[in-house]
Amino acid sequence: MALHPVLEKVTARIVARSRPSRGAYLAHLEAARVKGPQRGSLSCTNLAHGFAAFPANDKLILKEVKKASVAIVSSYNDMLSAHQPFEYFPKIIKDAVRDVGAVAQFAGGVPAMCDGVTQGQPGMELSLFSRDAIAMGTAIALSHNMFDSAVYLGICDKIVPGLLIGALHFGHLPAVFIPGGPMTSGLSNKEKAAIRQRYAQGKATREELLEGEAKSYHGAGTCTFYGTANSNQMLMEVMGLHLPGAAFITPGTELRDALTAAAAQRAALISEQGDEYIPVGHIVDEKCIVNAVVALLATGGSTNHTLHLPAIAKAAGIVIDWDDFNDLSAVVPLLARIYPNGDADVNHFHAAGGTGFVIRELLDAGLLHEDVTTIMGKGLRNHCKEPFLAEGGKGVVFKDSPAVSGDLNVVRPASEPFSKDGGMVLVDGNLGRAVMKVSAVKVEHRSVEAPALVFNSQEDFMAAYKAGQLDRDFVAVLRFQGPRANGMPELHALTPALANLQDAGRKVALVTDGRMSGASGKVPAAIHVSPEILAGGPLGLVRDGDIIHLDAATGVLEAKVDSKEWHARAQAQADLTPSHVGMGRELFGMFRATVSAAEQGATTFGLPSPRDTTVELHGGDNVGNTVPGSDEDFLVKKAP
């Protein structure tokens, strides 16, 4: 099937928009890639320090510069149920890499925050910034420059984006992402949400609530809803950074461990010393990023990726924006209904066909770029498969994903989608630009026009709800929640209250410069409003009682206020110091001061503009050639 014209158009404009920065990125990659192992540029002293604690036979391998050294960068901790299984992965990885004549070293750990533990708590105000801190931690781990490839252990919200951003700043190294897999299904997400709403109405006790939550989140592995963590897994599959179908295999099983070993060996084999050199900076290109956006939309993935994918793309010198998401969403069908977009969880999704089924359906419909490079080599078709234990339980074999869906209530072919569009729209108007996920919102709730109720904190909103002041039609305008203000926390804790009001027949919506969780759903919300209020955004001009019109179908987000009155208003002010001290938030002032707008990924990093970058590559056989993938701007020059 020919590629869909909208994919052609969006990809072409991303390539054109990114040419200078992508060219600079590729030039940096080439400059970092020297023939032979990175550790070849280290002194004997550096090297001796690097392998001092190594077993003798591994030291011998590291001394032989033609053998690959694989870095392990891990986000293991006991706090995230999803990351707890990583505790024993390094040993599997080291043994497996040794079996292919190479060496793996635990290069460094990175922090990992659980948004479920911090949801509604002060810690959530560090969450988004933890992504860039993870990227920095990844760079610190790899800065020893002992490595020729790397494996990244991570799953959850900010962790995979942070690891990938870090990995892309070492784009000359191959990267294989290794997941831990989902927890087995417990109390359904729908029943969990119902208990929460009953508790918010005072119809369930705290004991009943805790019992319900503990039955839902009951063991090791990723939470089973389709939030940001599991959206990350889908993206790693479609970007070709996982072994095919590795995402949703339960932790602690033979197949999980076999996949971990096989992934580690793949990392060694695609190093410069291996059979086929595949650096991550060549995998993550414009087509790969477009494929990621398409897969996110086709599965009803987390709105947080309208922040993370621009940040990931930027790390590879690629510039995307919300118009790209919006144009793709108009033509990408919704092929999966996983909670909060339906009742199923990721275990049901995997059993019904999973990631390989979705990738194949989208490829056959011309809705993904097939001509991409992945860790498996050329072509995305390698990822329309799922893994099985090889005969005798040693190793992994890959078989084609099911030809037909195992459950049409969970995953569908592109010929009969749940809806013809991907359910994530750009809304804009005199309140700014914002993102609205509609795949989990009933059609009758996707347009709301009601008086504004303005809040400067989620605590103020909940106090009004508990005082019974919200039993009415309204649009909650919750501001001072942007990255500069307080780190752009998720406001998912408001969902039960808003859902109760909606269920009671009230027309309610949320407009905020903050974020929601990937697990947020049924209430219409225009989020990530840019520019945020601290950047002079118009949310600061809204007053209680203004009529707010939010409409997903027409893409409108506006305050219906006389323009003379509107422009005469002063910008609202708020004392944000409570969000800048305590729980370590005082350590993140530099992030709040330098963070970019949500639409640019709310990042605190970035390559200098390529016009300021004269990339002097190490001479050798590069001189006189243009850097692969760039244009004449980046002709390789002889180093001074």
Q: How far is CA 323 from CA 186, 326, 327, 330, 427, in A?
A: 38, 5, 6, 11, 10
Bridge partner residues of 338 (DSSP): 344
As a dihedral over the C-alpha atoms of residue 234, residue 99, residue 63, residue 73, rounded to 10 degrees, the angle is 20
Total residues at the site for ligand SF4 (CB under 6 A)? 12
- Which phi and psi (to 5°) does residue 402 adopt? -55, 145
Among residues 38, 232, 299, 302, which is the contact residue for ligand 6PG, using CB under 6 A? Answer: 302
For residue 428, give the H/E element and its range: strand 424-429
Regarding 115 and contact with ligand 6PG (CB under 6 A), the answer is yes
Judged by beta carbon, residue 229 or residue 290, the one nearer ligand 6PG is 229
Regarding 518 and contact with ligand 6PG (CB under 6 A), the answer is yes
Regarding 532 and contact with ligand SF4 (CB under 6 A), the answer is no
Minimum distance, C-beta of residue 108 to ligand SF4, in the bound complex (Å): 21
Regarding 116 and contact with ligand SF4 (CB under 6 A), the answer is yes
Q: Is the peptide bond before 340 cis (omega within 30 degrees of 0)?
A: yes
Q: Which stretch binds ligand 6PG (CB under 6 A): 260-268, 354-362, 381-389, 513-521?
A: 513-521
Minimum distance, C-beta of residue 518 to ligand SF4, in the bound complex (Å): 8
Structural tokens at position 262 = 């096989």
- The residue type at 177: F
Among residues 38, 74, 105, 119, which is the contact residue for ligand 6PG, using CB under 6 A? Answer: 119
Quickly tell me which residue has 């080291």 as its tokens: 94
x-or-dash pattern for ligand SF4, window 148-167, by CB under 6 A? --------xx----------
Q: Which stretch binds ligand 6PG (CB under 6 A): 66-74, 311-319, 381-389, 511-519?
A: 511-519
Regarding 174 and contact with ligand SF4 (CB under 6 A), the answer is no
Regarding 235 and contact with ligand SF4 (CB under 6 A), the answer is no
Are 397 and 262 a contacting pair, CB within 8 Å? no
Regarding 82 and contact with ligand SF4 (CB under 6 A), the answer is yes
Cα 405 from Cα 384, distance rounded (Å): 13
Write out the binding residues. 156, 223
Judged by beta carbon, residue 265 or residue 304, the one nearer ligand 6PG is 304
Cα 71 from Cα 318, distance rounded (Å): 26
Within 8 A by CB and 6+ apart from 255, the residues are 249, 387, 388, 389, 396
Cα 458 from Cα 463, distance rounded (Å): 9
Minimum distance, C-beta of residue 114 to ligand SF4, in the bound complex (Å): 3
Regarding 346 and contact with ligand SF4 (CB under 6 A), the answer is no
For residue 296, give the H/E element and its range: helix 286-298
Write out the binding residues for [4Fe-4S] cluster. 156, 223
How many C-beta neighbours within 10 Å does residue 46 have?
13
Residue with nearest beta carbon to ligand SF4: 116
Regarding 14 and contact with ligand SF4 (CB under 6 A), the answer is no
Q: Could you give the count of Cα atoms lying within 13 Å of 542 in the half-sphere of its Cβ?
A: 33
Regarding 492 and contact with ligand 6PG (CB under 6 A), the answer is yes
Regarding 490 and contact with ligand 6PG (CB under 6 A), the answer is yes
Minimum distance, C-beta of residue 86 to ligand SF4, in the bound complex (Å): 12
The interface partner of residue 518, options being ligand 6PG, ligand SF4, none and the CB cut-off 5 to 8 Å by kind, is: ligand 6PG
How many C-beta neighbours within 10 Å does residue 65 have?
14
Regarding 50 and contact with ligand SF4 (CB under 6 A), the answer is no
- The residue type at 491: L
Regarding 529 and contact with ligand 6PG (CB under 6 A), the answer is no
- Which phi and psi (to 5°) does residue 321 adopt? -140, 180
Regarding 490 and contact with ligand SF4 (CB under 6 A), the answer is no
Q: Is the peptide bond before 182 cis (omega within 30 degrees of 0)?
A: no
Binding site for ligand 6PG (CB under 6 A): 115-116, 119, 157, 227-229, 302, 304, 490, 492, 517-519
Binding site for ligand SF4 (CB under 6 A): 80-82, 114-116, 156-157, 222-223, 227, 229
